[in-house]
Amino acid sequence: MNLWLVMLIGVLTSCGNKPASEMKMHVIFDNPSPRTMPLALFGEVPDSLATALNIQDGIPSSVSVMLVEKDGQQLLFDAGNGNDDSQLLPYLQNLGLSPSDIDAIFLTHMHGDHIGGLIKDGQKVFTQAKLYIPSVELDAWTQTPESTSQNVKTLIDAYGENLVKFGAEDKLPCGIEAIPAYGHTPGHTVYQVGDILIVGDIMHGVALQMAHPEFCARFDMDQNQSIASRKSILEQVSSNGWKMYGMHFPTTEAVMIP
């Protein structure tokens, strides 16, 4: 094959200027020890159901961040809570990565346990990364001065030109597809990468909500919309045979629906 043609194909299929490589997925528990969601967060769960699911003492959970290595790019999905005991940066360090090696970050939504790790002492942590935020989500948190928290202001200032606000029709790099899954927050969005679906906060209690998506955690801002999104996403995962990873799943393994 003509060398120029080979180079052209390389440019078209890779999402950066680094050589293409296989996609690799890391699920990073940001919390240093196992977490449990109190059952009371999920409203009126009948005792009989709680006992049958063995969740009467709470539902196993986590605060997780996903790192996808694709086409030589380091892609982060959310950034954890940024607490002093946060495990994200130590995990990256173990892989030989420094924060400046992250090329892009895709946010599912803008709750503190997802954006806290982006900022340290008012400065951006991931100095070279483009920060992709769904426009519906960003707009919702910046509509009025009163709706804009100090965290969000600091984030916008710190990431400046590296912040990329995207709409539903916009193409994302590296073959990533954004799928709106509104309800948990106004612009909550999940991401498809190949046969992987990163579902953000579509479920806070997998042990309950996989079989009973009608239950909402108290954190879901619009409960009816959350239920509809959860059912729709679970249906898509099942019909497409996707592997699902979530930011509050208690496992680093992919969850699939037969």
Please give the residue ranges that form the binding site for Zn ion (CB under 5 A). Answer: 113, 201
Whole-number Cα distances in Å, 58 to 42, 66, 109, 111 = 10, 24, 25, 22
Report the residue number, 99 or 200, with the smaller CB distance to Zn ion.
200
Residue 152, Cβ density class (10 Å: 0-12 exposed, 13-18 middle, ≥19 buried): middle
Q: Do the bridges between strand 123-124 and strand 119-120 make them parallel or antiparallel, or are there none, so unpaired?
A: antiparallel
Backbone angles phi, psi at 28, to 5 degrees: -110, 115
Angle (deg, nearest 10), helices 150-159 and 135-142? 130
- Supply the minimum distance, in Å, between the C-beta of residue 113 and Zn ion: 5
If the CB atoms of residues 103 and 201 are measured against Zn ion, the closer one turns out to be: 201
DSSP notation for 83-113: -TT--HHHHHHHTT--GGG--EEE-S---HH
From the CB of 236, what's the least distance to Zn ion, in Å?
Answer: 21
C-beta neighbour count of 40 within 10 angstroms? 10
Minimal distance, residue 40 CB to Zn ion, in Å: 17
- We find the least distance from the C-beta atom of residue 245 to Zn ion, in angstroms, to be 14
**Least distance between Zn ion and beta carbon 99 (Å):** 21
H or E element: which one contains 52? helix 47-53
In this complex, which beta carbon is closest to Zn ion, that of residue 103 or of residue 113? 113
Whole-number minimum distance, CB 115 to Zn ion, in Å? Answer: 10
Cβ closest to Zn ion, residue 15 vs residue 27 = 27
User: Would you mind telling me the total number of residues written for the chain in this entry?
Assistant: 258
**Which is nearest to 18 in space by CA: 81, 72, 75?**
72
Phi-psi region of 102 (alpha: psi -120 to 50; beta: other; left: phi over 0): beta
Nearer to Zn ion by Cβ, of 62 and 73: the residue is 62
Report the residue number, 73 or 108, with the smaller CB distance to Zn ion.
108
